[in-house]
Every structure is written in structure tokens, then in C-alpha cells.
Amino acid sequence: MDNVAIVVDDLEAAIAFFAELGMELEGRAQIEGLFADQSVGLDGLKSEIAMMRIPDGPGRLELTKYHSPAAVSAGPGNPSPNTLGLHRVMFAVDDINDVIARLRPHGAELLGEVARYEDSYLLCYVRGPEGIIVGLAEQLS
């Protein structure tokens, strides 16, 4: 897999949020033209993307802000974790409580609480910018 794309309205806020999770901005680009229209299937496509990468791995997130045609909502804001479609992105973290504290100034809200899965993990879901659900997993010893 090359990347996962997430459509956002506030590109700067999304970049800051995922940077706080430890991702690095790999690059930004304006996307438009015939190739964009043909590959995405939208006429007159104009967007800006920010490619965020995981520093020690192959995973990347493409954050996309559509200028034309405008982004559309798939349904009510802040969908629940059991909504059909892309569910969430999960990150392995060293200190789950520290990460939650660092994400709160970026608008993150804990959906439930930090839960312990056996003697293996501490897990939780947070809602970030644009209602994006992010899972956090801290492996225990």
C-alpha cells in the first residue's frame, strides 16, 4: 500500500495534528489538470495535498483539501466508530497519556477512555480535526 487519503477542510490543522502524532511532512503539491480529472473521476479538479509519512516506516497519509469541486459531506458530522466506510487510522505510541495530552490543543477528544487489553496494550480512540477517528495503541512490556 502506498498511502491512505483523508479529505479535510482545514489542511493546516490536519497537518499539525498528524505532526503531533510523530508523522513528518514529506511534501505539498497543487493537483489539477487532465490527469487529475481522469484518475479521480471529477471534472475541473483542483486540490492541494500534503503527504505525511511515518519516519521509521513505509506508511503515508495523503491529506487532501478540495478547492474545486468543493468537498461534500458523507453524512452527519462526527460519525460514530461503527459507521460504514473508512473506520480509523491507528498509531503505535510509546506513552498513550502523553500523546492524548499533546493532541488536545489540536482539538482531539477522547471518544471513550483508555482501556487495557489483557497484558498487551493500552488502547483508545480520539476524534481529531474534521471528525477523523484516530486509534492509539501503547504496547505493554
On whether residue 74 sits in a domain, the answer given is no
Residue 82 lies in a domain: no
Residue 89 CB neighbour total at 10 angstroms: 16
Whether residue 135 is predicted with pLDDT greater than 90 in this model: the reply is: yes
* Res. 105 pLDDT band, cuts 50 70 90: very high
pLDDT at 76 over 70: no
> In this structure, are 56 and 98 located in the same domain?
no
Which range of residues forms the domain containing residue 21? Answer: 4-68
Mean pLDDT across 22-50 = 93
* Contacts of 43 by beta carbon, 8 Å cutoff, 6+ apart: 37, 69
- Contact of 123 with 135, CB cutoff 8 Å: yes
CATH number for the domain harbouring residue 101 = 3.10.180.10
**Distance (Å, whole) CA 14 – CA 46:** 19
The rounded percent of the chain whose pLDDT value lies above 70 is: 94
Question: Do 54 and 10 share a structural domain?
Answer: yes
| pLDDT beyond 80 at 106 | yes
DSSP letter, residue 131: G
Q: Is the pLDDT of residue 133 over 70?
A: yes
- Residues 117 and 64 both lie in one domain: no
Residue 71 is predicted with a pLDDT of 84
Position 81 in a domain: no
When divided into structural domains, the chain yields a total of: 2
Asked which of 17, 37, 68 is the last residue of a domain, the reply is 68
